[in-house]
């Protein structure tokens, strides 16, 4: 484990097994349909890459980049779209793929924004759910793991753009994000 971590929450093997299970579940649910997978950048890219390789129905994917954190560890509540979709989603079966849902503010905004574009269906898939941090209710259709209210990094999740490349998910040491190296 990296020295900036307190402990590993999920090993690479645990993650890959769960992602394969989620891919199989999504494939069953969308059998006979074509799926448009929308990855939320940057955090979901690693999860999305592994997930789509485990989905057997025809699919396309696109990306959105949104921001509500900046360099902070707490959502500001103000969501900004930094990159919008490159295609229309009208009459498409859409699956939003997120790395983590905590406050729910970003996801709530995204769901409302995308529903207004008239998809045939809209579901949410997240690798990690942190319900103890929820500020607004959100519906999650596919959840990999429920996590405690701790600051976690790895497998796409970051702190100041670092740690995304780790193949596991770890709890980040408080000294790192509270400034006391």
- How confident is the prediction for the chain on average, in pLDDT? 93
**Alpha carbon of residue 13 to chain centroid:** 18
> Distances from the Cα of 11 to the Cαs of 7, 91, 135, 166, in angstroms?
10, 38, 29, 10
Say if residue 80's pLDDT is above 90.
Answer: no
- The pLDDT of residue 178: 84
Domains and CATH numbers, the chain: 13-150 (3.40.50.2020)
- pLDDT on residue 16: 98
Helical residues (DSSP H) of 35-100, grouped into ranges: 45-52
pLDDT tens, residue by residue, 129-167: 999 999 999 999 999 999 999 999 999 999 999 999 999
Q: Averaged over 24-45, what is the pLDDT?
A: 97
Burial class from Cβ neighbours inside 10 Å (0-12, 13-18, 19+) for residue 40 reads buried
Q: Write down the pTM of the prediction.
A: 0.92
Please name every residue paired with 122 in a beta bridge, in sequence order, or none if there are none: 94
Q: Which residues are catalytic?
A: 102
Helices (H), the chain: 12-29, 45-52, 105-115, 174-177
Tell me what pLDDT residue 180 has.
59
């Amino acid at each position: 484990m990296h020295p900036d971590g307190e402990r590993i929450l999920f090993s690479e093997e645990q993650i890959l097994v769960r992602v394969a299970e989620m891919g199989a579940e999504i494939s069953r649910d969308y059998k006979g349909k074509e799926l448009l997978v929308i990855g939320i950048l940057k955090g979901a890219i690693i999860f999305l890459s592994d997930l789509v390789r485990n989905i057997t129905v025809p699919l396309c994917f696109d990306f959105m980049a949104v921001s509500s954190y900046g360099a902070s560890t707490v959502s500001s509540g103000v969501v900004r779209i930094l990159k919008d979709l490159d295609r229309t989603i009208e009459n498409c079966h859409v699956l939003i793929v997120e790395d983590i849902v905590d406050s729910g503010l970003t996801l709530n905004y995204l769901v409302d924004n995308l529903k207004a574009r008239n998809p045939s269906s809209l579901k949410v898939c997240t690798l990690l759910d942190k319900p103890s941090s929820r500020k607004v209710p959100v519906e999650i259709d596919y959840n990999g793991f429920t996590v405690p209210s701790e600051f976690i990094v790895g497998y796409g999740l970051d702190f100041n753009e670092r740690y995304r490349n780790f193949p596991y998910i770890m709890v980040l040491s408080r000294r790192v994000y509270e400034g006391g190296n």
